[in-house]
């Protein structure tokens, strides 16, 4: 999948745009994303200062060299990108504005952007964009301020989305909404298929620690002004003012000196630290501006979902069970490993050990016998606290029920899950879990046999002309139960056909009622079959 190009723009300088971009870039890379930053603020470049200590080498070229390479006849961008070292499983790179030497200003000022576009530079930029988005998950562009040819390239031509950084004053608010309109108008005049801009407003450098009442009043005023920017992506149930509070970077005087990246020094920030707000903004970007209702309900879970998106887990599945199901659990884990699922049994009942153990597995499976233990509830609640996030293809909680477990007596968060019946064949459960983890089509693997069996059982009449037919039916139902336990699909199909034939009774006998023992056996087998089928349709 192609990466996303996001331009960070501000109408006025001094609002913390580059500071915010550099911090977001580090967070995304730390979380496992491949990030390219592009310093297009050619008249006042600064990203190389933020990344200086982490860069593998000094840039010997950059954005202005793209223009000169094009004029020299290049069809593709030269390798001007520099790697930036960060912790985590992702990567961070910088395409600087250019080589910082005495000739930089001359080379920069010699570029006539209008003439470049007339010569076909737009097509060259499209090639650059295709290469960048093929090799990176996010391309973050630091645009110059104001209205100019360069700003138009960064806001209209290149990006998929805009992040508009502004401060709480009228100079910024007068222009913040018009930025998107002007960018859309400029984009409409270009021969490229780009949708309407999605804009993330970021209120920066709000001093709400000392002047709390004034800060609160300005925050409400800012929310009213930028409300139009939320209309094409914010979930309707989330108030714009609440969302802007999530997107507000507070002013902390400590970080106002030099070019510092606070997220490097605050890896696990508390709510009163600036990195806490930067994490929230990074999570919105990582989630594609999506599922903001989850952010409103649980900020920590929303950020955790973004942080864990590319996480490498030691295990695919952790299986938690009571001692009464120890043997079944060990067999299930063995079957899962045989299918290529990295699974282990949860071995401790001490919540303190759970907290120290971190998050070893991507998914959690609870084997419940009657009711979940207090340990299992603690384990599941902790898992959900770190796993809740945008729907689709992420961490999952599974619930496997023993035969004597009443689903209606489970805690609410488990009742809402699709249950899987344990039965006597752990390999069947292993196959179902494997399919769910792999995201394979959700259907019961033995659906044809189960549907046929259910139809035959429901077709068995309440009365028959001869008692002998009920005796044969009882033997057949007993055989079907054994076939279900053993996973013998062919035998299940054969016996279902026999039972269906027995149900078509002929003759004018005394019409004997179905024995209570057979009625109970039919009801129990139907219940088990329905649970197997409903596990994939609930």
Tell me the pLDDT tens digit for each residue of 312-323. 678 889 999 888
DSSP β-bridge partners for residue 40: 143
Element (H or E) spanning 163, and its range? strand 161-166
pLDDT at 472 over 70: yes
Tens of pLDDT, residue by residue over 161-186, are 999 999 988 888 888 888 778 877 77
CA distance 156 to 197: 9
pLDDT band per the 50, 70, 90 thresholds, residue 215: confident
pLDDT at 389 over 70: no
- Average pLDDT (22-43) is 94
pLDDT at 537 over 50: no
pLDDT at 510 over 90: no
- Residue 146 has φ and ψ, to the nearest 5°, of 70, -160
Position 149 scores a pLDDT of 56
pLDDT band per the 50, 70, 90 thresholds, residue 356: very low
Position 391 scores a pLDDT of 35
Element (H or E) spanning 380, and its range? helix 374-387
Rg from Cα positions in the chain: 31
Q: List the Cα angle 344/348/353 in 5-degree steps.
A: 110
Position 151 scores a pLDDT of 57
pLDDT band per the 50, 70, 90 thresholds, residue 534: low
CA distance 207 to 210: 7
Q: If DSSP states are collapsed to H, E and C, what string results for 75-126?
A: CCCCCCCEEECCCCCCEEEEECCCCCCCCHHHHHHCCCHHHHHHCCHHHHHH
Q: Which of residues 383 and 30 earns the better pLDDT score?
A: 30
pLDDT at 441 over 90: no
- Average pLDDT (8-23) is 90
Position 282 scores a pLDDT of 97
Tens of pLDDT, residue by residue over 274-309, are 999 999 999 999 999 988 988 988 898 889 888 876
Give the CATH fold of the 315-438 domain: Rossmann fold (3.40.50)
Rounded percentage of the chain residues whose pLDDT exceeds 90: 30
Position 538 scores a pLDDT of 45
Q: Which of residues 215 and 8 earns the better pLDDT score?
A: 8
C-alpha torsion sign, points 491, 497, 500, 505: negative
| DSSP 8-state secondary structure symbol assigned to residue 156 | I
Residues of the chain with CATH 3.40.50.300: 4-308
| DSSP 8-state secondary structure symbol assigned to residue 369 | S
Position 242 scores a pLDDT of 93
pLDDT at 350 over 60: no
Q: Which of residues 513 and 89 earns the better pLDDT score?
A: 513
Position 146 scores a pLDDT of 62
Query: Beta strand pairing status for 91-95 and 397-401?
Result: unpaired
Mean pLDDT estimate for the chain? 84
Nearby residues of 150 by Cβ (< 8 Å), 6 or more positions away = 40, 42, 113, 143, 144
Position 353 scores a pLDDT of 47
C-alpha torsion sign, points 524, 527, 532, 535: negative
Could you tell me if 471 and 510 are in contact, meaning their C-beta atoms sit under 8 angstroms apart? no
pLDDT at 99 over 50: yes
Position 291 scores a pLDDT of 84
pLDDT band per the 50, 70, 90 thresholds, residue 379: confident
Residue 18 exposed, middle or buried by CB count within 10 Å (0-12, 13-18, 19+)? buried
Q: What is the CATH number of domain 4-308?
A: 3.40.50.300
Token pair, residue 423, equals 């039965």
Rounded percentage of the chain residues whose pLDDT exceeds 70: 88
pLDDT band per the 50, 70, 90 thresholds, residue 445: low
- Average pLDDT (43-56) is 88
pLDDT band per the 50, 70, 90 thresholds, residue 415: confident
Token pair, residue 60, equals 């010997």
Residue with tokens 């100079």: 171
Position 241 scores a pLDDT of 94
pLDDT band per the 50, 70, 90 thresholds, residue 268: confident
Position 55 scores a pLDDT of 86
Tens of pLDDT, residue by residue over 221-252, are 999 999 999 988 999 889 999 999 999 999 88
Q: List the Cα angle 215/275/183 in 5-degree steps.
A: 70
Element (H or E) spanning 5, and its range? strand 4-9
3-state helix, strand, coil in the chain (%, to 5): 50, 15, 35
pLDDT at 34 over 90: yes
pLDDT band per the 50, 70, 90 thresholds, residue 390: very low
Q: What is the pTM of this model?
A: 0.62
State the DSSP string of 509-532. Answer: S--EEPPHHHHHHHHHHHHHHHHH
Could you tell me if 411 and 377 are in contact, meaning their C-beta atoms sit under 8 angstroms apart? yes
Residues of the chain with CATH 3.40.50.10140: 315-438
Segment of 135-139, 481-485, 513-517 carrying the highest mean pLDDT? 135-139
Beta-strand runs (E) in 307-412: 315-320, 343-345, 361-368, 397-401
């Amino acid at each position: 999948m192609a990466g996303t190009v996001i331009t960070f723009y501000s109408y006025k300088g001094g609002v913390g745009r580059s500071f915010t971009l550099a911090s977001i870039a580090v967070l995304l890379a730390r979380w496992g994303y491949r990030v390219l930053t592009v310093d297009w603020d050619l008249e006042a470049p600064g990203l190389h200062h933020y990344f200086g200590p982490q860069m593998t080498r000094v840039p010997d070229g950059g954005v202005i060299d793209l223009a000169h390479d094009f004029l020299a006849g290049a069809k593709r961008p030269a390798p001007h990108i520099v790697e930036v070292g960060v912790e985590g499983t992702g990567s961070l790179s910088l395409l600087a504005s250019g080589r910082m030497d005495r000739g930089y200003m001359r080379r920069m000022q010699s570029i006539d952007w209008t003439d470049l576009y007339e010569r076909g530079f737009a097509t060259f930029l499209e090639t650059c964009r295709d290469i960048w988005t093929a090799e990176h998950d996010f391309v973050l562009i630091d645009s110059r301020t104001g209205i100019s040819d360069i700003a138009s390239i960064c806001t209209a031509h290149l990006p998929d989305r805009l992040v508009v950084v502004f401060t709480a004053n009228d100079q910024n608010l007068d222009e913040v909404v018009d930025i998107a309109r002007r960018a859309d108008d400029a984009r409409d005049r270009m021969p490229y298929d780009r949708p309407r801009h999605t804009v993330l407003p970021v209120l920066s450098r709000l001093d709400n620690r000392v002047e709390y009442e004034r800060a609160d009043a300005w925050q409400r005023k800012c929310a009213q002004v930028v409300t139009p920017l939320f209309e094409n992506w914010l979930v309707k149930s989330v108030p714009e003012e609440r969302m802007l509070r999530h997107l507000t970077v507070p002013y902390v005087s400590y970080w106002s000196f030099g070019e510092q990246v606070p997220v490097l020094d605050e890896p696990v920030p508390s709510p009163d630290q600036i990195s806490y707000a930067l994490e929230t903004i990074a999570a919105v970007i990582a989630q594609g501006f999506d599922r903001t209702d989850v952010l409103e309900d649980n900020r920590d879970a929303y950020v955790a979902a973004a942080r864990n998106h590319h996480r490498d887990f030691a295990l695919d599945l952790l299986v938690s069970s009571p001692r009464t199901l120890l043997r079944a659990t060990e067999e299930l884990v063995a079957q899962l490993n045989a299918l290529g699922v990295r699974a282990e049994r949860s071995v401790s009942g001490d919540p303190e050990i759970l907290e120290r153990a971190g998050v070893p597995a991507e998914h959690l499976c609870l084997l419940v016998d009657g009711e979940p233990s207090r340990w299992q509830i603690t384990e599941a609640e902790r898992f959900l606290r770190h796993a809740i996030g945008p729907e689709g293809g992420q961490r999952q909680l599974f619930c496997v029920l023993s035969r004597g477990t009443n689903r209606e007596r489970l805690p609410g968060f488990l009742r809402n899950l699709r249950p899987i019946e344990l039965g006597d064949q752990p390999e069947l459960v292993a196959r179902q879990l494997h399919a769910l983890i792999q995201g394979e089509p959700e259907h019961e693997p033995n659906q044809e046999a189960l549907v046929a069996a259910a139809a035959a059982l429901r077709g068995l009449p309440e009365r028959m002309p001869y008692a002998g037919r009920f005796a044969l039916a009882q033997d057949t139902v007993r055989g079907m139960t054994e076939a279900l336990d053993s996973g013998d699909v062919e035998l299940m199909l054969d016996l279902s056909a026999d039972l269906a034939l027995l149900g078509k009774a002929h003759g004018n006998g005394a019409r004997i009622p179905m024995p209570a023992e057979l009625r109970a056996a039919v009801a129990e087998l139907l219940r088990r079959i329905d649970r197997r089928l409903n596990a994939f349709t609930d």
